[in-house]
Structure 1
Amino acid sequence: MKDRLDKVVLITGAGGGIGAAVAAALHRRGASIVLVDVPAADLERVSAQLGHSRVAIVRADVTSREQLDNAVATAIEQFGRLDIVIANAGISSGARASTIRSVDDGVFERVIGVNLTGVWNTVRASLPHIVDSGGYILLTASTYAYVNGMANAPYAASKAAVEQLGRALRAELAGTDATAGVLYPGWVSTPIADVAFGGDEIATALVARAFPAPIRRPISTEKLARATVRGIERRAARIQVPGRWIPYSLLRGIINPLSDIILERDAEIARLTAELDGRRT
């Protein structure tokens, strides 16, 4: 039997997808979980699935620092301490792909608000308690932190920035007993990935054209959660799931300039991009 994980864990974006799956995996190991999200019904559903034992739920919008402060305060009031924080809440650019030219006004700001400012608020609200407990903060980025973000620029920009926050935070915490890491999911079977796998015909064609089949295959939230828990246990600097993305990540300084050239010169990608540009209203 695996050792019991007797930790208090706060997870944002815990009402579904990656957050809910990681919450379930940690709860099975014995952790006490603070579920943070906006929809009350989703939080209640996840709490019920966990059996309500060792679970607290907090409705909070991560774009509000005050609401994140309240979520952290709830963790301390309910469980007496805070050991692990997973800054996971995130949104996509929408159900349809777009270019920087064709994206609706306000989408970039909304994505940055949740995916980047939300992570910042989560870290800032929880950091004093994590330092006190010698704990661990995990920031959810994406493989889009380092692959070309064409047709998905707001999301990719936000995740690249989250990676930088996580790297800086780990270095800054080196003189304490606390530490931090970055989670890099590839495509995961959640609604965010739907746009690239049948939800949007052009986006699906672009992904099929730009990425080889082995790395574009989505994985389940359960598989990602298992790997994430293993990374949390070793307080990893980087958790890349699935592992088939690791060579790309390690060689990004070589691969990215080459892939950028290929994308720029591919006539079919240019044609598909022009179709996306034509979506301007």
Structure 2
Amino acid sequence: MPISPSIRALEGKVALITGAARGIGAETARALAGHGVKLVLTDLDAEPLAALAAELGEENVHTVACDVCDLPAMERAVAAGAARFGGIDLVLANAGIASYGSVLRVDPATFKRVMDINVLGVFNTVRAALPSVIERKGYILVVSSLAAFTPAPGLVAYNASKAGVEHFADAVRLEVAHHGVAVGSAHPSWIDTPLVRDAKQDLSAFRQMLKVLPGPLKRTTSVEVCVEAFVKGLAGRKRRVNVPGWVGALRWLKPVIASRLGDRQTLKHAPRLLPLMDEEVARLGRSTSARNTALDDVAVAPK
């Protein structure tokens, strides 16, 4: 299949990707590297990040193991990457986690950690990279979610954070358009990532919730399909990147989804599934995946 002119235009650009050690971040890095993009990659998980750099060729990749919640660390990462490759053209603010459990039962520290990574982490990423992106009239893609406009009980922190960063991207777009910078938000549905796989493994309530969702909302999309959409979005400086494409229609239906009519389907199952989720979270002894819990220990360890 011939490569479109917009994709070909990626060659020689420099992209910053957060949450790059695995999942969508890592696969997008691989795809961009295949199009001749230099990469500045950050993640809290140092080992897979270093392995990815070795795979892609360290002459084309600069990696920094750091926490997106730490603004000075993000500023140092961006400065080092920009010094090595000349600047930052593209930003994929991808780092994100989720918590499990109702508002009454979720671990408050985990709830805060979700908000810190998913919202403050996006601010820190954009804040750190923006001077270079402005200089090069670049593009920023903030990873929101279908969850920004389809709330689900038991996933309140994730829903709130993804709605927040969508609005953040819309506001930043207005601030930087006169500099020649474009800003978009990405809205994936359920993608076959570690985040979704961990939730399925940990919680039968989550698996049951997916089964009772209407129509296409219950389906999981491959990482490959998501990455293809992200690469096209980065190349085309798109305002919205919906994965799959039908997600865009739900954004326009948000007033209906948030109405009493829209609540009906969820309210049929919440009285059964939410207590089950809370019971399973209590048995796990954690409100997020085991992987996130281990990485949180890295984040708070003395430096």
List aligned pairs for 1:81-100, cutoff 5 A.
81-93=87-99, 97-100=100-103
Greater mean deviation of Cα atoms: 69-78 or 268-277: 268-277
Q: What residue is the counterpart of 1:126 in the other structure?
A: 129
Q: Using a 3 Å threshold, how does the CA distance of structure 1 residues 137 and 34 change in structure 2: closer, same or farther?
A: same
Q: Which one of 226, 231, 247 corresponds to residue 249 of structure 2? A: 247
Name stretches of at least 5 consecutive residues in structure 2 with no aligned partner: 283-303
Shift of 1:139: 0.7
Q: What residue is the counterpart of 1:185 in the other structure?
A: 188
List aligned pairs for 1:102-121, cutoff 5 A.
102-121=105-124
What do the CA deviations read for 1:49-92 (whole angstroms, capped 9, x no partner)?
21334111111110100000011101211101110111111112
Shift of 1:191: 1.6
Q: SS in structure 2 opposite 1:139?
A: strand
Q: Contact 2:89–2:139 (CA<8 Å) still a contact in 1?
A: yes
List aligned pairs for 1:1-12, cutoff 5 A.
1-2=2-3, 3-5=8-10, 6-12=12-18
List aligned pairs for 1:1-281, cutoff 5 A.
1-2=2-3, 3-5=8-10, 6-93=12-99, 97-209=100-212, 211-257=213-259, 258-264=261-267, 266=268, 268-278=269-279
In structure 1, how many angstroms separate the alpha carbons of the residues matched to 2:97 and 2:16?
Answer: 19
Percent sequence identity is: 36
Amino acid of the residue matched to residue 148 of structure 2? A
In structure 2, how many angstroms separate the alpha carbons of the residues matched to 1:26 and 1:280?
Answer: 38
Q: Using a 3 Å threshold, how does the CA distance of structure 1 residues 222 and 232 change in structure 2: closer, same or farther?
A: same
Name stretches of at least 5 consecutive residues in structure 1 with no aligned partner: none
Q: SS in structure 1 opposite 2:140?
A: strand
What TM-score results when the alignment is normalised by the length of structure 1? 0.92
Shift of 1:213: 4.2
In structure 1, how many angstroms separate the alpha carbons of the residues matched to 2:112 and 2:270?
Answer: 26
Shift of 1:277: 4.4
Q: Contact 2:153–2:270 (CA<8 Å) still a contact in 1?
A: no
Q: Using a 3 Å threshold, how does the CA distance of structure 1 residues 123 and 214 change in structure 2: closer, same or farther?
A: same
Shift of 1:269: 2.8
Q: SS in structure 1 opposite 2:238?
A: coil
Amino acid of the residue matched to residue 160 of structure 2? A
Amino acid of the residue matched to residue 172 of structure 1? E
Q: What residue is the counterpart of 2:287 in the other structure?
A: none
In structure 2, how many angstroms separate the alpha carbons of the residues matched to 1:32 and 1:254?
Answer: 43
Shift of 1:195: 4.8
Q: Using a 3 Å threshold, how does the CA distance of structure 1 residues 280 and 85 change in structure 2: closer, same or farther?
A: closer
Shift of 1:248: 1.3
Q: Using a 3 Å threshold, how does the CA distance of structure 1 residues 4 and 134 change in structure 2: closer, same or farther?
A: closer
Shift of 1:34: 0.8
Q: Contact 2:9–2:235 (CA<8 Å) still a contact in 1?
A: no
What do the CA deviations read for 1:164-208 (whole angstroms, capped 9, x no partner)?
101111122222211111011111111211255454111211222
Amino acid of the residue matched to residue 68 of structure 1? M
Q: Contact 1:195–1:203 (CA<8 Å) still a contact in 2?
A: no
Q: SS in structure 1 opposite 2:190?
A: coil
Moved over 4 A (4+): 277-281
Q: SS in structure 1 opposite 2:273?
A: helix
Q: How many residues align?
A: 275
What do the CA deviations read for 1:98-122 (whole angstroms, capped 9, x no partner)?
1111112311111111111111101
Amino acid of the residue matched to residue 120 of structure 2? T
